[in-house]
A and B are shown apart, each in its own frame.
Chain A
Amino acid sequence: MSTIENTKRKLKRKIKKLKLKSVMKNRFVLEGFYKYGDTDKSRFRRMLYLTSLHFSSKLGSVSGTKPKVYERKKYTIKPCVTAPESSFAKRPSPTLMAKKFLVNDIISFDVFDTLILRPFDNPKSLFFLLGEKNKCPGFKRYRELAEKLARQDAFEKSGTYEVTLRDIYEKLSRFVLLDIDKAMQYEIETELDLCFANPYMKEIFLQAKNLGKTIIAVSDMYLSKDVIKKMLDKCGYEGFDDIIVSNEYNASKRSLLLYEYIKERYGVTKKYIHIGDNIVSDNRSARKCDIEPIWYKGVNPRGNAHRAFDMTSLIGSAYRGIVNAKLQNGDKQYSQYYEFGYTYAGFLVLGYCKFINDYCKNHGIEKILFLSRDGYILKSVYDELYPNDDTEYVYWSRSAATKLTVNRFKNELLLRYIKYKIPRNMTIEKILKAMDLQEMQPFLDEAELTKDTLLTKENYEDIVKVFTAHWNIITEHYRRNNDAAKAYYKSVIGSSKSAVIVDIGWAASGFSALRYLIEDEWKLNCKVRGLVAGSTYLHDMDIIEPQMTNDIITSYMFSQRINREIRRDHDVKRMYGAFTEIMLSAPAPSFIGFDFDNDGRVKYEFDYPEVEGYEMIKEIQNGIHDFVDDYTTHFAKYPCMMNICGSDAYAVCRQVISCPEYFSNLFYDYPVNRAVGSASFETGSLGKLIENEFVK
């Protein structure tokens, strides 16, 4: 690269650093710049805006404290927009590595974060679990301090920082008095429980083995050789000539001494390759010792550039660790839809399913009804996690609910089928067709509202008057549908005395309608409760306030009762709701209503299928299932790790739903049928919707 290009690059980097430093100066400036700074403005205007923020911050004495790391990351860390994250994790192919191995004699592997991964983005997160096993609050901090002390002590005594696990636990007695052997055993046991093989490295390792090369494992670590061997065995790595651990030789890779020892032992004329994740000890130090290094940049430093941080320490670390291990290891490339499911939707689904399960246990619920279509993936995952629970995926939609509850929620029909259609330039004929109420036409004709009349703001009230005057006809018209729905739900609920209805959100209108029908109109002798992932409603924030107070409806992530700051953050005008719904979409058409077929059996009616999106949705769902499988497998022995709180689930969602360019890029053609129930062949696309309705 030419010197000019290099200088340009350096200059750009410096300007970026300067800008970041200036933006991150205090919370006021940070929030102001990222939350309200319009990215469409020119650079000059943004700079002016930034200067004015600093100025007003000084004037108003709101300089505040420097924002915390997670606060900064909330704005600066973004998902991979243009291409799958896994496509950036390019690693040398196994065939290429095999060729490299062929011309070398000794193949050396680093162990931790190379051959072996742990389901955390920071290995120290494991100490949280030890804290619980040792029943010791603050254990993580004590354990870190003890290691530091032990290393300092070792340096003073022997000039190296190499320590054993026992050295560390002996120092731990400075902070907490534990049975050292037992506590050490906990740590070893936990390490063994949680470690897993890096799938990419496994193939590379097998390549070396296949070629009959001498393979060694080299680690700068406080754990003993035996423990590391057990971990490697558990991960399926067998066939090492030796496992060389720094604490047994009082020499580390970083200090070059361990490499020198290896070369002395195996022969200086031999050709060596060393593969490891640490830029200093595995790369530079190896090169200095004339060992060809292959730097495998760790999955976590690579992946964390795209992960959410505003989360609880333990669950957040687990989430990031698992996603990083999957997408950054270099074994496979996934589609962006799969990654969307794996990285974002999977965590929400897992957390929500556990929440549903806990809720059912606590409330003695006999049956769980997952409402179509958002409940499709929830039920599928829930059944995998809790196969003994009684669950049903039930057909329901706002459109169906509106028709079935005309004798109670009158205004719903008028709003959803008439008022909300005003901007769509629909004729009276089309509206009546969508409502399947063509028999109203003669009455509308009398009021001079003919078939071809366009629905407008001005004639809306006239139409309402005609409808109100003949409401009994409407009620009668939908009676047959109501009977079909009753027959369907009667068979679904069976003899259950209590059921919970699960939906994604936001005003719980589906639940409210169904509750009225099941409990009051159909009298199915079953008490129903409702669960939503989040609760917010643009037109009436308090729409389900009494039901929530009465513990009839509960929200997982946020509502007026919990995580109110999240609720405020959940910006409906910025389409946060729509984006969240995409996570749980189903590859099936929208449900319209119930009827009877010619044989008197209940028949389901669907809208036109939005098939353009089905392949995307199937990929998303594959990602969701795989995330749930991976997470539950890694933490099979630690059920507490399933307790994902709503704010953690939302932090992950927020990271992606607050990034409209992600959806514009990935889901531009994703079909959005804004006229469900209007029997329209035309569907819009999410891209167009973002262009038209996203409020900056």
Chain B
Amino acid sequence: MILYYALTTYHIQCCVLHRLTRKKNETAVLLLSDIHKNSVAFLERYKNSGIFDDVLLLEESEVNANIKQREQKHRSKQSILKSACSEIKKVLPINLNSADELYLCPDHFPFGWYVIKNKIKYHCFEEGCGVLSDNKFLMSNMSRNKTQTALMNTLGYFGENDSCVEILADTQAQVEGFEHPKMVDFSVKRILEELDVKTLERVLSFFGVTEIVKAEKNTSLILTQHMANLGIMPLCDQHRLYKLFADYFLENTHIAVKPHPDDIAGRYKDIFGDDCTVLPFAMPSELLPYVFDGRVKTAIAAYSTAVKNLGNFCDRMICFDNRIMEDFRHIHRYFAAVQLVEYLKQSDDDIVTNGNELLIAELAKNDNFNAAFKFSDEMSDFNGCAVISDKLIEDNTIEDITAFISSGQNKGFIVFLNEKQMHIYFNGKNKEVFSKIRPIFIEIAGKEKKVQEVIYLYSEDKKTLEKAENFSLTKELKYTGVTIDLHSISKSEGEKIKMLEGVLEATEKRLNGYIANKKAVDAELESRGIKL
């Protein structure tokens, strides 16, 4: 008997495909962890599909809850491990000795601990497509839990232990040149491509897909992630992120949404209206090419690994990295910067940025603005056309930045995103910089209060500055429900005052910095027993 243990939807999919292609003639039992609520909710459907001889539920969530309680009581990691293993033994609905082979995915939850600790031989599926060689994101998630981090080192998660016989992973999705002694090729994408129609239908029906979606010519797809569920951001911010994606990248298209299997709380019908197609969340995204009857115009995801598998299914694929989770809050600034650069740019030189170059490049592609965007946080690279984020202050002093600006090394122009209102072009003294600066106002008007953001253009060239003064653009963001109006300084005194307010704001910030410095010095002196 083959025993599969799965937790997430991707893992269940691996088990289903493995069972149907590699172990189709053997007795197979699927053990589902109840940590994943989808497994509890769709257990009956999984059972009725007939793919497995039996589908059992492992009551692992209570064990997990007890682990958290013990963590709060600061119990030792070994004691937590021991108690979790003994609890797993009690709740196991099947005798593990009855299984000839055990396939685990993942092995870093209590059941995995139990298997590794008891030195039971098992086969392991990689955590996600290509994750075996590129596990940065996985590790950053793992590092948030101290117990997991400690046990990862002692037990050896993800197949890195003696009990694991092999790691089933997509060899072609790994980082180039990556090798692993236990790696055995198991590509979900290729298996699906090779499946016969009948088997494919069984797989689709297992995951709740009952009908094929007609992809109109103009269909776009959003692949969501469960940021709110992971506690990365509140649900309202997650909704806002996808609204902004739709507004900036999927304008005038029919929107289809594939929620992440754990994105249970995403309310996409409410956001995009009844016209949008929302696919079952409990379906793995690898099945997407088989759910649509045609190609999708644009597919967009925040930082999903699933997009990598979409291949030829879409004309344009947009995927950022995890910087987007912060940078989406400044997307209007990025948009304004791209529009301004497009309006002002005359040469074909690269555009250098220390901000989110992926976001800038995709915003530029929207307008067929064919320019190369290069990431650099070296100031010496900002000698042509540059878009500078306030992140520059993290590795440079304000004096260095202003010295670079006043050196005249920049022969093109610089757009300061000013997303943290740091006004990094001004150090409190170099007031002459304002004669070479033009503010670009971003008026954001919606149902709520009108908000204004400002980016700043710097150039030594007077003609560029004069041209910038005539810059204006309006864009309606349908889903966000706001209109953004971009314009430079107008003749009205009111806005000149606003510019002065910016100067004042900067001055105040500097002053605050001096005060903070003084406090720190005073505290240091006091700690050394020196009183001025």
Q: Do A and B come from one complex?
A: yes
Binding site for B on A (CB under 8 A): 93-95, 97-99, 102-103, 203, 206-207, 210-211, 609, 611-612, 614
Which 5 pairs between the two chains have the least Cβ-Cβ distance? Answer: A98-B265, A95-B265, A98-B264, A611-B508, A99-B37
With contacts A102-B37, A102-B40 known, what are 8 further pairs, Cβ within 8 A?
A93-B228, A93-B235, A94-B235, A95-B264, A103-B40, A103-B41, A210-B266, A210-B269
Q: Does B511 interact with chain A (Cβ within 8 Å)?
A: yes
Interface string of B34-69 (1 = CB under 8 A from A): 000110110000000000000000000000000000
Check B265 against A207 for contact (C-beta < 8 Å): yes
Min CB gap A624→B, angstroms: 14
Q: Is the CB of A102 within 8 A of B38?
A: yes
Most buried by A among B41, B228, B264, B508: B264
Chain B: CB-nearest residue to A331: B236
Least Cβ distance of A540 to chain B in Å? 37
Task: Kindly report which residue of chain A lies nearest to residue B508, judged by CB atoms.
Answer: A611
Contacts of B508 in A (CB 8 A): 609, 611, 614
- Contact string against A for B residues 122-163, beta-carbon threshold 8 Å, 1 for contact and 0 otherwise: 000000000000000000000000000000000000000000
CB-CB under 8 A from B40, the residues of chain A are: 102-103
Chain A residue at minimum C-beta to C-beta distance from B238: A95
B235/A206 in contact, CB under 8 A: no
26 A–B contacts from the bound complex (CB under 8 Å):
A93-B228, A95-B228, A95-B229, A95-B235, A95-B264, A95-B265, A97-B265, A98-B264, A98-B265, A99-B37, A102-B38, A102-B40, A102-B41, A103-B37, A103-B41, A203-B235, A206-B270, A207-B265, A210-B265, A210-B270, A609-B508, A611-B508, A611-B509, A611-B515, A612-B512, A612-B515
Secondary structure type dominating chain A contacts? helix
Please tell me which one of the listed residues A99, A611, A612 contacts residue B264 in the complex, with CB atoms under 8 A apart.
Answer: A99
- Whole-angstrom CA separation of A94 from B515 in the bound complex: 42
The reply to whether A206 and B267 form a contact with Cβ atoms under 8 Å apart is yes
Return chain B residues, CB-CB under 8 Å to A609. Answer: 508, 511
Docked pose: A102 CA to B38 CA in angstroms = 7
Which B residue's beta carbon lies closest to that of A608? B511
Query: How many Å from the CB of B242 to the closest CB on chain A?
Result: 14
Q: How far is the CB of B33 from chain A (nearest CB, A)?
A: 14
Contact status A207-B267, CB under 8 Å:
yes
Which residues of chain B have C-beta atoms less than 8 A from A95's C-beta? 226, 228-229, 235, 264-265
Whole-angstrom distance between the Cβ of B64 and the nearest chain A Cβ: 13
Measured between alpha carbons, how far is A211 from B268 in the docked complex, in Å?
11
Complexed CA–CA distance, A291 and B509 (Å): 56
Q: How far does the alpha carbon of A210 sit from the alpha carbon of B259 in the complex, in Å?
A: 12
Q: Are B270 and A611 in contact (CB under 8 A)?
A: no
Evaluate contact between B267 and A210: CB separation under 8 angstroms: yes
- Closest-by-CB residue of B relative to A609 is B508
Q: Which residues of chain B have C-beta atoms less than 8 A from A99's C-beta?
A: 37, 264
Bound Cα distance A206, B37 (Å):
19
A591 to chain B, nearest CB (A): 15
Chain A contacts for B37, CB-based, 8 A = 99, 102-103
Report Cα–Cα, A569/B374, bound state, in Å. Answer: 67
A28, chain B: closest CB distance, angstroms: 47
Question: Which chain B residues in 98-144 approach chain A with CB under 8 Å?
Answer: none
Q: Which of B412-451 contact A (CB under 8 A)?
A: none
Across the interface, A94 reaches (CB within 8 A) one of B228, B270, B511, namely: B228
- B512 engages A94 (CB within 8 Å): no
> Nearest A residue to B38 by beta-carbon distance?
A102
Q: Which chain A residue has the least Cβ–Cβ distance from B229?
A: A95
Cα A94 to Cα B226 in complex, Å, equals 12
Inter-subunit contact A102/B512 (CB<8 Å):
no
Q: Which of B41, B228, B235, B511 contacts A611 (CB 8 A)?
A: B511
Closest to B504 in A: A609
Distance in Å: Cβ of B274 to nearest Cβ of chain A: 13
Residues in A neighbouring B228, C-beta threshold 8 A? 93-95
Query: Least Cβ distance of A425 to chain B in Å?
Result: 15
Return the chain B residue nearest A99 by Cβ: B37
In the complex formed, the residue of A with least CB distance to B226 is A95
User: Chain A residues near B38 (CB, 8 Å)?
Assistant: 102
